[in-house]
Structure 1
Amino acid sequence: MKSRAQDLSPIAIRERILDAAEACLIDVGYGTRLHAVIAERAGLSRPTVYKYVGDQSEIFEALFQREITHFFTLLRPVLLESDRLDSGITDCVVFAVGYARRHALLQKGLRDDPAVVLPWFTMRARPFIERGTDYLAPLFERMMTAEQLATIDPRAVCEWAFRLVASLITTGGVVDTSSDAALRDFVDGLLSIAWVPAPAAQLV
């Protein structure tokens, strides 16, 4: 039996609403009017849902922000195991893409309601990039040599990683990256090109 709203803290109420919202979206999709079904699943009133989360767009925003926080918490130990920039980027991309491919709500949105989900990876991506950069730049910086730090901004590394992950999540390609091993080979190959020194200028 669910606890009554008056017996819960505001944080607990909000989390219950978001848990119910995630389950409802997986069941019925992003296009449904959600407040009634969320309220029923959460065992709360519709006014309570509005009070603690807001309208439908604010529900999407809250779910997205909660998922980002959870994702970064899981990614951190992955990056702490890496001690080189190239392997760290590969580990980051492989983990992030695999996580996204196994994420039921994200995959349902990409499949059934791309107009709602894709902007988070394109037009609305900047806040995500900024937040990810603030969180991840120190983790990438610790992997970098003094020579790399002299020429590469760790914040740029974060943005490279985001753009690669976003592309792999949202766009199909001709190279097989369906398994973690194939994806790792793909990213390693891309990075091997990126680390090739620029050719010396030709004397005229």
Structure 2
Amino acid sequence: MRERILDAAEYCLVESGYNSRLHAVIAERAGLSRPTVYKYVGDQSAIFEALFQREISRFFAVLDPVLRGHDQLQAGFVDCVVFAVGYARRHALLQKGLRDDPAVVVPWFTVRAKPFIEVGAEFLVPHFERMLTPEQLASVSPRVVSEWAFRLIASLITTEGDVDTADEEALRQFVGGLPAVMFVPSADARVG
């Protein structure tokens, strides 16, 4: 029943947007009563959260084989970010929300992101642990790498910048170049 309601909610949000009388249109689309929609998914905020949770689970299912194909962190990290940004750009519901109702969607990638960072860590940490050498594991936390990936993906999805995120090669070069920028020796180290 819950999946039926969420399917209807996804359809209604893509068709009508985030500000419609959501429960009424979901109930009509699903062939249920409004009280049944409330019973199984709750208020509008709960519907959005349930849809985000479901979509993240779906995303991880398709990301898993991408990450399993890597045994080195940098290549795995770059592919993870590039894949996630591409997936988000093709996701009709997410794009509709970002375009038409960013005030509803963007908080899930910013001030309300903590639960998704946690879910992401549960999924990503074992992959990143596998990709790190024992020496790297001694100095790098896979959980930090996971959170960094989420924050980078969220930023690339929600904000425009100089990199064209629709151009996979440009995005790959941008993300692949980040470690080099992060580990530029300090001015003191270059002088000596």
- TM-score normalised by length of structure 2: 0.94
Whether 1:84 aligns to 2:72 is: yes
Output one character per residue of 1:82-111: Cα deviation in whole Å (capped at 9) or x when no partner. Answer: 110000100100010000000000001001
What pairs with 1:44-59 in structure 2 (closer than 5 Å)? 44-59=32-47
Residue of structure 1 in register with 2:60 after alignment: 72
Residue of structure 2 in register with 1:35 after alignment: 23
Q: Unaligned stretches of 5+ in structure 1?
A: 1-12
| C-alpha distance 138-109 of structure 1, shift in aligned 2 (>3 A) | same
Residue of structure 1 in register with 2:150 after alignment: 162
Answer whether contact 2:85 2:165 (CA < 8 A) is retained. Answer: no
Residue of structure 2 in register with 1:3 after alignment: none
Distance 1:43 1:90 in 2: 44
Whether 1:149 aligns to 2:149 is: no
Identity of aligned residues (%): 70
Residue of structure 1 in register with 2:88 after alignment: 100
Whether 1:19 aligns to 2:7 is: yes
| C-alpha distance 67-202 of structure 1, shift in aligned 2 (>3 A) | closer
> May I ask how many residue pairs the two structures share in their alignment?
192
Answer whether contact 1:177 1:186 (CA < 8 A) is retained. Answer: no
State the Cα distance separating 1:36 from its structure 2 match. 1.1
Distance 1:164 1:14 in 2: 32
Could you list the structure 1 runs, at least 4 aligned residues long, displaced by more than 4 angstroms after superposition: 195-204
Which range moves more in the overlay, 86-95 or 175-184?
175-184
Distance 1:203 1:98 in 2: 41
| C-alpha distance 182-203 of structure 1, shift in aligned 2 (>3 A) | closer
State the Cα distance separating 1:190 from its structure 2 match. 1.3
Distance 1:129 1:52 in 2: 25
Secondary structure of the structure 2 residue equivalent to 1:57: helix
Which range moves more in the overlay, 189-198 or 74-83?
189-198
Answer whether contact 2:70 2:131 (CA < 8 A) is retained. Answer: yes
Of 113, 117, 120, the residue aligned with 1:125 is 113
Distance 1:91 1:45 in 2: 44
Residue of structure 2 in register with 1:62 after alignment: 50
| C-alpha distance 196-81 of structure 1, shift in aligned 2 (>3 A) | farther
- TM-score normalised by length of structure 1: 0.89
Q: Unaligned stretches of 5+ in structure 2?
A: none
Richer in helix (by share) = 2
Which of these two proteins has the greater Rg computed from alpha carbons?
Answer: 1
State the Cα distance separating 1:200 from its structure 2 match. 7.5
RMSD of the alignment, in Å? 1.8
Answer whether contact 1:79 1:139 (CA < 8 A) is retained. Answer: yes
Answer whether contact 2:86 2:166 (CA < 8 A) is retained. Answer: no
| C-alpha distance 65-37 of structure 1, shift in aligned 2 (>3 A) | same
